[in-house]
Structure 1
Amino acid sequence: REQVLKQIDASLARLRTDYVDLYQCHRYDFDTPLEETMEALTEVVRQGKERHLGFSEWTADQIEAALALVPRVEKFSSSQPQYSLLYRVPEREVIPLCKENGISQIVWSPLAQGTLTGKYRPGEEPAQGTRAASSQMGWSMDRFRDDDVLEAVQQLVPVAEGLGITMAQLALAWVLRKENVASAIIGASRPEQVEENAAASGIALDHAILEAIDDAVGDVVVR
């Protein structure tokens, strides 16, 4: 409780604002009773310092435990899971539970850490300067670096080309159209990447395209 109250004030001071629209728990805190965490977050909401609460990478059981404390505590508004057309684990339990309880998804890694841009090719070493080549971050991409995954991703190239869009736009359009997804967190190293990614929000994918995507990557999807 003490740290939540202290850190929200520190955040507001750095942001030079009186409140934030969304305040999220990044991962579940196993060292603190859930009731204490939720009561502290509720206190901050009722002080007017935050409008909505969210969480990142909580399990369905953890979400249900928090929901069981409502209305004594404030209810979560958002969930931030890893979700992409290559990684669909949230579809099993988290998304259905959130949909039932009015909690939206703000997904991270919608491009599977760059894999879905098509820049990593089977049998080739990643280019210097990319995440996959990083000695600090490369390990986090191991699940997407297998040749069978990279070969499947390359099968998406003609799908994107047929629509006149980039691979990144195809992957983002896929995740943004998924039920219960409100937004996607994207990264960019150049201004034009921001523009490219933002344009994906206006791209519609019909049933035939969705089937083509599943035909290409279905065997390598993590579910």
Structure 2
Amino acid sequence: MEYRKLGPSGAIVTPYCLGTMTFGAESDEATSGQMMDDYVAAGGNFFDTADVYSAGTSEEIVGRWLKAHKAEAQQVVIATKGRFPMGKGPNDIGLSRRHLGRALDDSLRRLQVEQIDLYQMHAWDALTPLEETLRFLDDSVRNGKIAYYGFSNFLGWQLTKAVWMAKANGYTAPVTLQPQYNLLVRDIEHEVIPAAQDAGIGLLPWSPLGGGWLSGKYKRDETPTGATRLGENPNRGSESYGPRNAQERTWQVIEAVADIAKARGISSAQISLAWLAAQPAVTSVILGVRTRDQLADNLAAASLVLTPEEIARLSEVSKPQMSDYPYGTGGINQRHRKIEGGR
């Protein structure tokens, strides 16, 4: 695999990151360990987890693997997250100094490491003053508990506010943002990605296959069944079968991906992943797999380079919908871009 900088930092990661949300839930510890073995053997060096994944079990599985593979552990970049409930008390949630202090120490213990390479705020917290969170993160960098920090699921204005508040106070700056991003979910291109690019932040997209939709496993007007995420739960959040099935754009994107995959003799998943990894500002794509076979197929995308024509076709058929104001072709921002482009 090639290497990329972790956002504006000096840390180096591979363009495909092993996500571990399935560890301890959809994948047992033996399978999870084998996937970590396979991923590292393929040249990967970036693990992503979170305290809330399987109520801490995912971090524990990763921690036991790191302890048993000390040589490999020296080369792996470890990312985790804090913010969501890890208990029933009112202070067992959020981005307060109190909750994050305990959450970070618990993650360090479960992962069996002295320092977490990338500590991410799992979502915005409207109750906690942002400066309190940023001061805690700066303190944690200074005391050596974390090397870098980032955010997940932040809006554009939230990211920009955090970046500039850190700068104004002389705090350590964030280096990454982890958003949902794929060929079916591109609305972050309106505000979030421009904000990240303006700040020099690296993107770590999650759900790169849209919950399996972009792997080609689902069919039009045929409710999923069997051992797939939607087969087990067709109403799974934003990836639910009904709403996406009803959108013609969904099937146009899936058809374009399938056409390119068929012409190349490879899987739709590899085409979808390669398109995402090639997008501006993307540092590393988080692979959310449940089996070794899925991982092997996904990792094959690391050697795939799409042609400009293939990227253009996928980008055109999947382009995000825009209202006329302020984003659409008649919107003021588009008119300003045309004026500025003619200068």
TM over 0.5: yes
Task: Confirm whether residue 172 of structure 1 aligns to residue 238 of structure 2.
Answer: no
Q: Partners of 2:106 and 2:235 in 1: how far apart?
A: 29
User: Cα RMSD between the aligned structures?
Assistant: 1.8
Task: Confirm whether residue 58 of structure 1 aligns to residue 158 of structure 2.
Answer: no
Q: CA deviation at 1:164?
A: 2.2
* Residues 77 and 194 of structure 1: CA distance in aligned 2, closer, same or farther (over 3 Å): same
Task: Confirm whether residue 96 of structure 1 aligns to residue 194 of structure 2.
Answer: yes
Q: Deviations 1:1-31 (Å, cap 9, x if unpaired)? A: 1221122111111111100110000110111
Check whether the contact 1:54–1:76 (CA below 8 A) recurs between aligned residues. Answer: yes
Task: Confirm whether residue 37 of structure 1 aligns to residue 137 of structure 2.
Answer: no
Check whether the contact 1:121–1:150 (CA below 8 A) recurs between aligned residues. Answer: no
Task: Confirm whether residue 144 of structure 1 aligns to residue 244 of structure 2.
Answer: yes
**Correspondent of 1:184 among 285, 288, 298:** 285
Q: Partners of 2:263 and 2:184 in 1: how far apart?
A: 20
* Residues 111 and 197 of structure 1: CA distance in aligned 2, closer, same or farther (over 3 Å): same
Q: Partners of 1:56 and 1:138 in 2: how far apart?
A: 20
Aligned equivalent of 1:120: 218
Check whether the contact 1:78–1:104 (CA below 8 A) recurs between aligned residues. Answer: yes
What secondary structure, in the 3-state scheme, does the structure 1 residue paired with 2:148 have?
strand
What secondary structure, in the 3-state scheme, does the structure 1 residue paired with 2:128 have?
coil
What secondary structure, in the 3-state scheme, does the structure 2 residue paired with 1:158 have?
helix
Unaligned segments of structure 1, at least 5 residues: none
- TM-score with structure 2 length normalisation? 0.61
Check whether the contact 1:86–1:222 (CA below 8 A) recurs between aligned residues. Answer: no
Aligned equivalent of 2:19: none
Task: Confirm whether residue 68 of structure 1 aligns to residue 164 of structure 2.
Answer: yes
Q: Partners of 2:117 and 2:185 in 1: how far apart?
A: 28
Q: Deviations 1:196-216 (Å, cap 9, x if unpaired)? A: 111212211112112332454
**Correspondent of 1:131 among 219, 223, 229:** 229
Q: CA deviation at 1:137?
A: 5.4
Check whether the contact 1:117–1:167 (CA below 8 A) recurs between aligned residues. Answer: yes
AA at the equivalent of 2:146: E
Q: CA deviation at 1:149?
A: 4.1
User: Larger deviation: 143-152 or 15-24?
Assistant: 143-152
Q: Partners of 1:222 and 1:167 in 2: how far apart?
A: 23
Q: How does 1:69-84 map to 2 (within 5 A)?
A: 69-71=165-167, 72-84=170-182
Check whether the contact 1:122–1:150 (CA below 8 A) recurs between aligned residues. Answer: no
What secondary structure, in the 3-state scheme, does the structure 1 residue paired with 2:210 have?
coil
Q: Partners of 1:167 and 1:68 in 2: how far apart?
A: 40
Q: Deviations 1:10-54 (Å, cap 9, x if unpaired)? A: 111111110011000011011101011111111111110101111
User: Larger deviation: 141-150 or 91-100?
Assistant: 141-150
Check whether the contact 1:131–1:137 (CA below 8 A) recurs between aligned residues. Answer: no
**Correspondent of 1:2 among 98, 107, 115:** 98
* Residues 58 and 196 of structure 1: CA distance in aligned 2, closer, same or farther (over 3 Å): same
Identity %: 33
Which portions of structure 1, spanning 4 or more consecutive aligned residues, are displaced by more than 6 angstroms? none
Aligned positions, number: 221
Q: Deviations 1:86-138 (Å, cap 9, x if unpaired)? A: 11112112212212222100001110111001111102121222222334852
Check whether the contact 1:95–1:180 (CA below 8 A) recurs between aligned residues. Answer: yes
**Correspondent of 1:46 among 129, 142, 152:** 142
* Residues 147 and 66 of structure 1: CA distance in aligned 2, closer, same or farther (over 3 Å): closer
Q: CA deviation at 1:55?
A: 0.4
Aligned equivalent of 1:206: 307
Q: Partners of 1:82 and 1:42 in 2: how far apart?
A: 26
Q: Partners of 1:222 and 1:128 in 2: how far apart?
A: 32
Check whether the contact 2:223–2:234 (CA below 8 A) recurs between aligned residues. Answer: no
